[in-house]
């Protein structure tokens, strides 16, 4: 537990399920005031829900304004919204690309831009949730890989700005985490290879060279650390939380 987080305020996008939900839950358990943003809102106990579509212009500004109005401050922004489409490059049309970039990248840009003045005032921080696919290229993950790589570059650029303005900006690259999306990928392997669920899960884990899949709570733990003063000298970091999937230097 990080006592210095008590009473501080956070906005977490993509907070209705998966990694984003686990992050909102962990930060609330740390004593933070949390606004959980998602299209359907967030029903977690102890978390204030805010329903909006972050692909829409103005949605990010409204979400940040809601957090500041409710809590009187903003100390942390976690950009976790956005699932990008997999598939054959030639089968992914302009709409698929535009939709994925709008929700995961452009929403992060807009939220960060809206939150920055408040984070500067509180000496707060931003954590982007990107993904290991931004560092390991894959023919069936061209959209997600490019979006995640862009988020990593954005992290470095904003960290440079943050050094002068007192805002810490870091990025987490989750590997294969047990979410609904991973369950869908396991189902795809089952269908393609005629395997049972356990065998398909084992085959998918083996394909990335890891011993097991991660849990959303493990990503949330890293976010809590990055938000705390114990990570006060961590700036512009790209943290691979992937069970050893990425082996490149």
| CATH number for 18 | 3.40.50.720
Residue 249 lies in a domain: no
Instruction: Record the pTM.
Output: 0.94
Three-state DSSP at 10 gives: strand
- CA-to-CA separations, 50 to 41, 76, 126, 136, 247, in angstroms, rounded: 5, 16, 19, 34, 38
- Number of domains within the chain: 2
Contact 80, 131 (CB under 8 A): no
* Tens of each residue's pLDDT in the chain, 249 residues: 899 999 999 999 999 999 999 999 999 999 999 999 999 999 999 999 999 999 999 999 999 999 999 999 999 999 999 889 999 999 999 999 999 999 999 999 999 999 999 999 999 999 999 999 999 999 999 999 999 999 999 999 999 999 999 999 999 999 999 998 888 888 989 999 999 998 988 888 888 889 889 999 999 999 999 999 999 999 999 999 999 999 988
Three-state DSSP at 60 gives: helix
Mark whether 163 and 187 lie in a shared domain: no
Of 236, 237, 173, nearest in space to 208 by CA: 173
| Residue range of the domain that includes 136 | 3-175+215-240
Mark whether 43 and 116 lie in a shared domain: yes
């Amino acid at each position: 537990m990080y006592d210095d987080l008590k009473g501080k305020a956070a906005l977490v996008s993509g907070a209705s399920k998966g990694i984003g939900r686990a992050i909102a839950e962990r930060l609330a358990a740390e004593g933070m005031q949390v606004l959980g943003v998602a299209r359907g809102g967030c029903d977690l106990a102890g978390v204030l829900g805010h329903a909006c579509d972050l692909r829409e212009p103005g949605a990010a500004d409204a979400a940040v304004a809601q957090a500041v109005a409710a809590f009187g401050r903003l100390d942390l922004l976690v950009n976790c919204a956005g699932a990008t489409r997999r598939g054959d490059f030639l089968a992914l049309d302009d709409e698929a690309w535009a939709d994925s970039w709008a929700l995961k990248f452009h929403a992060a840009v807009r939220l960060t831009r809206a939150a920055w003045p408040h984070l500067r005032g509180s000496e707060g921080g931003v954590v982007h949730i990107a993904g290991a696919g931004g560092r390991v290229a894959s023919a069936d993950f061209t959209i997600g890989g490019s979006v995640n790589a862009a988020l990593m570059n954005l992290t470095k650029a904003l960290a440079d700005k943050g050094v002068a303005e007192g805002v810490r900006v870091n990025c987490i690259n989750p590997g294969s985490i047990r979410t609904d999306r991973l369950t869908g990928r396991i189902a795809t392997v089952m269908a393609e290879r005629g395997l049972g669920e356990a065998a398909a899960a084992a085959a998918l884990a083996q394909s990335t060279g890891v011993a097991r899949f991660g849990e959303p709570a493990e990503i949330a733990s890293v976010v809590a650390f990055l938000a705390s003063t114990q990570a006060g000298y961590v700036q512009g970091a790209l943290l691979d939380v992937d069970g050893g999937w990425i082996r490149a230097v």
